[in-house]
Structures are given as structure tokens and as C-alpha cells.
């Protein structure tokens, strides 16, 4: 069990965990009886052995922790040397959409799965309104999981648009002002009606959205796009927003 714990523990947490165990072994209080001073200076030592740790005191804040991963090779923990950026995601539930006043998609709850039905001849849309994740740093993409009601050939195309308003801006949030659409295609729908596939759509245009903004994402089937050739309804069962934090 200990091996499993160590395998999934970050180096910094592991260091302080071992420090706490040492303090307990000395009969003292974990928090107050012992302080570890990490070796540090403005320049990393020229040599090191595997397992050594060092703090570069004039490096960028949050990127000052180094571990020796091989002889005489220091590797920064965080930033470009380690990994301080991670992919996160937010579910956009199909049952939580807002429908436009004209040409809305249909929320179908008649079978086992809730799904949004998008017509093959009319560009129908839905919208999600939410607070953009407060841990957002960069990026942004949609994963749209869909199936087809009847089509077993051809392709589908979607348009995804983003609108963002920062609290305090002199903007009426009730007035739609979406950024340029992001168009994404799936050239070949599943060969069996009802089977799932995924469209990954990078949100290149996202209205300069920032963490904590009030945001809207509009999703439409782009029936006028030359790539949208599949007949019948497109059934959207799940949508996920992914980003870097």
C-alpha cells in the first residue's frame, strides 16, 4: 500500500510527508516542533546525486523547486521543467441548455438518454450560460458526443460560438455579442444509427474570455456547410468543455 501511495504523491508533498513522519518519530508536534530548511541559493550546484533537492531563490515564483533526477541533472518541478499546467473539464449538460427564440434544437427525453436533436435541413441551436471556470488559464475546446437518428453515411458539421462578459464591464449581458464561430466537422458519421462518435472542436475564437467571466456557448448544426451531408437528425448526448488551468 505504501508503494502505491508514494507512486501517486508529488515530490513536494512526499518531502513534507516524510518530514512529518520524522517529526512524529522524534516525539514532537508535526507542525510546530520542526522546520526543514531546503538547501538554496541563486545558482544551482554544478553537481548533484539522484534524490537531491534544491531551491533556486531567484527563479520565477512557483518554479523554484528542483530535483536531481539523474547524476548532475536538475529538473525544475513546475513550469516547463515539470508540469504546473493541467487539463481540466466542465460538463455542459444537455438538459441544462437555453433555447433560442427561433430555430431551437429539440430536447428529446423519450428514450433512455436525454439528447438534443438537430435537424438536417434547418440550422438549429442551443446555448449554455455559466461562469467560466475560475481556475482557467488558457485554451478551450468542446467535445461533442453525438449519434445519428437514421444516417449511416455522410458527415456532420457544427458551429460553436463563445460570448464572454467580465463583471464590471460596461456591457449589457442580455444582448448577445458572440465572437466569430468555430466550425468543426466529422467527415464520417458512425456506420450504425444510434452509435456514438465525438467531434473535437477547438475554440480558437472565444471573445477574450477570462477566468470568472459570465459566458455563453452556442452550439448549432451547420447544415449549410459542405461537410454536412448526413441525412436525418444529429443527436447530441453529451458536451464537455476542456481547458488548461
Evaluate if residue 9 carries a pLDDT over 60. no
Q: Please report the pLDDT score of residue 123 as a whole number.
A: 98
Is there a single domain that holds both residue 177 and residue 93?
Answer: yes
Is there a single domain that holds both residue 78 and residue 119?
Answer: no
Q: How far is CA 13 from CA 10, 29, 90, in A?
A: 5, 18, 27
Q: Please report the pLDDT score of residue 5 as a whole number.
A: 45
Is there a single domain that holds both residue 1 and residue 92?
Answer: no
Is there a single domain that holds both residue 73 and residue 97?
Answer: no
Is there a single domain that holds both residue 236 and residue 169?
Answer: yes
Q: Could you give the CA distance from residue 105 to residue 192 in angstroms, rounded to a whole number?
A: 22
Cβ count within 10 A of residue 126:
24
The three state secondary structure string of 169-192 is CCCCCCCCCCCCCEEEEECCCCCC
Q: Could you give the CA distance from residue 215 to residue 163 in angstroms, rounded to a whole number?
A: 6
Is there a single domain that holds both residue 183 and residue 164?
Answer: yes
Q: For 12-63, what is each residue's pLDDT tens digit?
A: 555 556 555 555 555 555 455 556 677 888 888 888 899 899 888 877 777 7
Q: Please report the pLDDT score of residue 64 as a whole number.
A: 83
Average pLDDT over residues 8-14: 53
Range of the domain at 6: 1-36
Point out the least confidently predicted range of 23-27, 102-106, 133-137, 226-230: 23-27
Detail the DSSP E strand segments found in the chain: 40-41, 53-56, 65-70, 73-76, 87-92, 106-108, 115-118, 125-131, 138-148, 156-165, 182-186, 197-202, 214-221, 234-244
Question: Does the pTM of the predicted model rise above 0.75?
Answer: no
Q: For 74-104, what is each residue's pLDDT tens digit?
A: 888 865 444 556 889 999 999 999 999 999 9
Give the number of domains in the chain: 3
Q: Measure the CA angle with vertex 221, ends 218 and 225; round to 5°.
A: 120
Is there a single domain that holds both residue 30 and residue 131?
Answer: no
SS3 64: coil
Q: Please report the pLDDT score of residue 29 as a whole number.
A: 52
Amino acid at each position: 500500500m505504501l508503494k502505491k501511495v508514494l507512486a501517486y504523491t508529488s515530490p513536494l508533498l512526499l518531502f513534507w510527508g516524510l518530514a512529518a513522519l520524522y517529526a512524529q518519530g522524534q516525539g514532537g508536534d508535526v507542525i510546530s516542533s520542526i522546520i526543514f530548511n531546503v538547501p538554496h541559493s541563486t545558482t544551482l550546484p554544478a553537481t548533484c546525486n539522484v534524490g537531491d533537492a534544491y531551491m533556486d531563490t531567484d527563479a520565477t515564483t512557483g518554479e523554484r523547486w528542483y530535483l536531481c533526477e539523474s547524476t548532475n541533472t536538475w529538473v525544475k518541478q513546475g513550469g516547463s521543467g515539470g508540469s504546473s499546467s493541467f487539463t481540466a473539464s466542465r460538463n455542459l449538460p444537455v438538459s441544462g441548455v437555453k433555447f433560442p427564440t427561433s430555430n431551437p434544437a429539440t430536447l428529446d427525453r423519450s428514450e433512455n438518454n436525454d439528447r438534443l436533436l438537430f435537424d438536417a435541413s434547418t440550422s438549429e441551436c442551443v446555448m449554455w450560460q455559466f461562469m467560466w471556470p475560475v481556475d482557467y488559464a488558457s485554451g478551450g475546446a468542446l467535445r461533442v458526443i453525438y449519434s445519428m437518428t437514421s444516417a449511416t453515411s455522410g458527415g456532420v458539421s457544427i458551429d460553436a460560438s463563445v460570448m464572454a462578459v467580465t463583471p464590471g464591464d460596461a456591457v449589457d449581458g442580455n444582448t448577445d455579442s458572440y465572437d466569430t464561430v468555430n466550425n468543426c466537422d466529422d467527415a464520417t458519421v458512425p456506420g450504425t444509427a444510434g452509435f456514438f462518435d465525438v467531434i473535437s472542436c477547438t475554440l480558437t475564437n472565444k471573445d477574450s474570455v477570462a477566468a470568472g467571466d459570465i459566458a455563453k456557448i452556442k452550439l448549432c448544426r451547420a447544415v449549410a456547410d459542405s461537410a454536412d451531408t448526413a441525412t436525418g437528425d444529429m443527436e447530441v448526448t453529451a458536451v464537455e468543455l476542456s481547458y488548461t488551468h
